[in-house]
């Protein structure tokens, strides 16, 4: 799709309390070359302007009325219903290609609503929230859409002022620029997703990427440090891949062991639900990640430790936790509606678990491998290799499985074969 010449920006806010700010933003969007489409999510009052989508349209999208919402009990229940209506209405506009971007403003109430809206939109549609609680610990990671942009609404409590105008004008320029520049997630080639960590931990993508490109595929690699996994799962749910090579699963392990560095309980499920074939491996499942700037969690203080940088550190999980993780992985894969192959590298699952490295733990690895052998059940295929996940043998195994599935028609063939195997 060509870039939008005059991006259509859906502008969401409570017009009864923030009319001055919203009208200021509408003007800034127009000055930047866009078109502001106003959605009012007020409950009790009315804005001093006529929005394209008024509060009655928002309520109707939630299959209710403003009168019923206003009498629903309290402000929390009322805004939850408005959030449902705004989400349904906005997703419908996106599906109909009627908008090129979305921007919303708010305090905690408006932010709560805006986060629901953003999560319902496809990855690639620009979305920006200007919030008085942007980047706050009040916002749990699972509420944040994978490609959401946020700005702190400095000076945004009540009415326009210099600081407020500075922030809102930047935000309007950002959303118009993003919507005018963004290209739809389309490719002339089938897309293959690969999950991995940085090359120092998991290096298989260095060889896998060019090999798959030779076979005629576009390769998208997702960094599995929480939000990367969320992005992959979001695109998988949209059926955006011909195949998923989900080879780094420490986000699953993190979620099961209580780490904040996770992608939520839905990790390792969306490709299977969408009928996308998967080749899966347990990259880095032995690590529990946590912020390096915080103290080591009490239950990990006696475990082998590695500080990757000043943001991220890891310690090894205990053998009993690895057995639990193995069972959870097998359970998630068992519900897939398309073929799944699980490659089990018995020689190790990440760079630092090898002998003389900081996270070497042969007993823990043996426990995981043993439990994984027992947990994987047909129709999931188990392919065990003796080597390490960073070995050439691992890459060769994955590619052999992939090529077999292409020949069998399980994975769509690449668009080109020039230079392929």
pLDDT digits (tens, 9 = 90+) for 196-215: 998 889 999 999 999 999 99
- β-strand partners of 341: 279, 381
Cα separation, 241 vs 219, in Å, equals 10
Compute the average pLDDT of residues 340-354: 96
Q: What is the dihedral of CA 246, 303, 203, 397, to 10 degrees?
A: -50
- Cα–Cα distance measured from residue 48 to residue 76, given in angstroms and rounded to the nearest whole number: 24
Reported as a single tens digit per residue, the pLDDT across 134-184 is 999 899 888 999 899 999 999 887 889 999 999 999 999 999 999 999 887
| Mean pLDDT of the 53-75 span | 94
As a whole-number percent, the residues of the chain with pLDDT over 70 amount to: 97
CA–CA dist 317, 254 (Å, integer):
10
Average pLDDT over all residues of the chain: 93
* Tokens matching residue 134: 């942007």
pLDDT range class, residue 421, cuts 50, 70, 90: low
End-to-end CA distance of the chain: 32
Q: What 3-state class would DSSP assign to 86?
A: helix
Inform me whether the pLDDT recorded for 420 exceeds 70.
no
Work out the average pLDDT over 217-224: 95
Residue-by-residue DSSP string for 376-415: --TTSEEEEESS-TTSHHHHHHHHHHHHHHHHTTSSPPPS
CA distance 190 to 416: 10
User: Which are the contacts of 297, defined by CB distance < 8 A and separation ≥ 6?
Assistant: 258, 288, 290, 315
What whole-number distance in Å separates Cα of residue 313 and Cα of residue 165? 39
pLDDT for the residue numbered 275 = 97
Q: In this predicted model, what pLDDT tens digit does every residue of 367-391 receive, in sequence order?
A: 999 999 999 999 999 999 999 999 9
Predicted confidence at residue 306, as pLDDT, reads 87
C-alpha 81/C-alpha 74 separation (Å) is 11
Residue 283's alpha-carbon distances to 158, 214, 223, 252, 359, in angstroms, are 49, 24, 12, 10, 14
DSSP letters for 246-281: EEE-HHHHHHHTT-SSS--TTTTTHHHHTT--EEEE
Domain ranges of the chain: 8-181, 191-407
Helical packing angle, 108-120 and 75-95, nearest 10° = 30
Spatial separation of the C-alpha atoms in residues 207 and 214, rounded to whole Å: 11
417 has a pLDDT exceeding 60 = no
Write down the pLDDT at residue 187: 60
Q: What's the mean pLDDT in 344-364?
A: 94
- Compute and round to an integer the Cα radius of gyration of the chain: 24
Superfamily grouping for domain 8-181: Uncharacterised protein family UPF0261, NN domain (3.40.50.12020)
Whole-model pTM?
0.83
Please indicate whether the domains covering 8-181 and 191-407 agree at the CATH topology level.
yes
pLDDT of 4 above 80: no
- pLDDT tier, 1 (very low <50, low <70, confident <90, very high otherwise): very low
Best CA proximity match to 244, nearest among 196, 184, 188, 176: 196
Q: Which CATH superfamily is domain 191-407 in?
A: Uncharacterised protein family UPF0261, NC domain (3.40.50.12030)
């Amino acid at each position: 799709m060509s870039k939008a010449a005059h991006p259509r920006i859906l502008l969401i806010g409570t017009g009864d309390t923030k009319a001055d700010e919203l009208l200021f933003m509408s003007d800034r969007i127009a000055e930047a070359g866009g078109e502001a489409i106003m959605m009012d999510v007020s409950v009790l009052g009315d804005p001093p302007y006529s929005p394209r989508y008024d509060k009655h349209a928002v309520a109707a999208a939630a299959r209710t009325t403003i009168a019923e919402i206003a009498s629903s009990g309290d402000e929390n229940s009322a805004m939850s219903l408005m959030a449902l209506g705004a989400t349904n209405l906005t997703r419908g506009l996106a599906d109909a290609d009627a908008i090129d971007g979305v921007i919303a403003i708010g305090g905690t109430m408006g932010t709560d609503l805006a986060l629901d809206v953003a999560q319902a939109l496809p990855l690639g549609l620009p979305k920006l929230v200007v919030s008085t609680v942007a980047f706050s610990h009040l916002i749990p990671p699972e509420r944040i859409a994978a490609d959401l942009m946020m700005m702190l609404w400095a000076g945004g409590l009540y009415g326009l002022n210099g600081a407020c105008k500075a922030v809102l004008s930047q935000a309007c320029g950002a959303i118009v620029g993003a919507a005018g520049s963004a290209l739809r997630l389309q490719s002339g080639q089938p897309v293959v997703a690969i999950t991995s960590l940085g090359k120092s931990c998991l290096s298989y993508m260095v060889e896998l990427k060019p090999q798959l490109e030779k076979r005629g595929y576009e390769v998208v690699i997702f960094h599995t440090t929480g939000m990367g996994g969320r992005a992959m799962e979001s695109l998988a749910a949209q059926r955006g891949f011909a195949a998923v090579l989900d080879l780094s699963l420490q986000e699953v392990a993190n979620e099961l062991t209580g780490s904040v560095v996770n992608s939520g309980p839905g990790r390792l499920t969306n490709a299977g639900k969408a009928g996308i074939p998967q080749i899966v491996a347990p990259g880095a499942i032995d690590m529990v990640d946590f912020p390096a700037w915080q103290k080591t969690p009490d239950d990990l203080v006696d475990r082998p430790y590695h500080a990757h940088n000043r943001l991220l550190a890891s310690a090894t999980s205990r053998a009993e936790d690895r057995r639990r993780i193995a069972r959870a992985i097998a359970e998630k894969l068992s519900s897939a509606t398309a073929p799944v192959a699980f490659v089990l590298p018995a020689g190790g699952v990440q760079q630092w678990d090898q002998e003389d490295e900081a996270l070497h733990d042969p007993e823990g690895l043996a426990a995981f491998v043993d439990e994984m052998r027992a947990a994987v059940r047909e129709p999931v295929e188990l392919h065990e290799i003796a080597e390490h996940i960073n070995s050439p043998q691992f890459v060769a195994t994955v590619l052999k499985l992939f090529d077999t599935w292409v020949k069998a028609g399980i994975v769509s063939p690449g668009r080109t074969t020039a230079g392929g195997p």
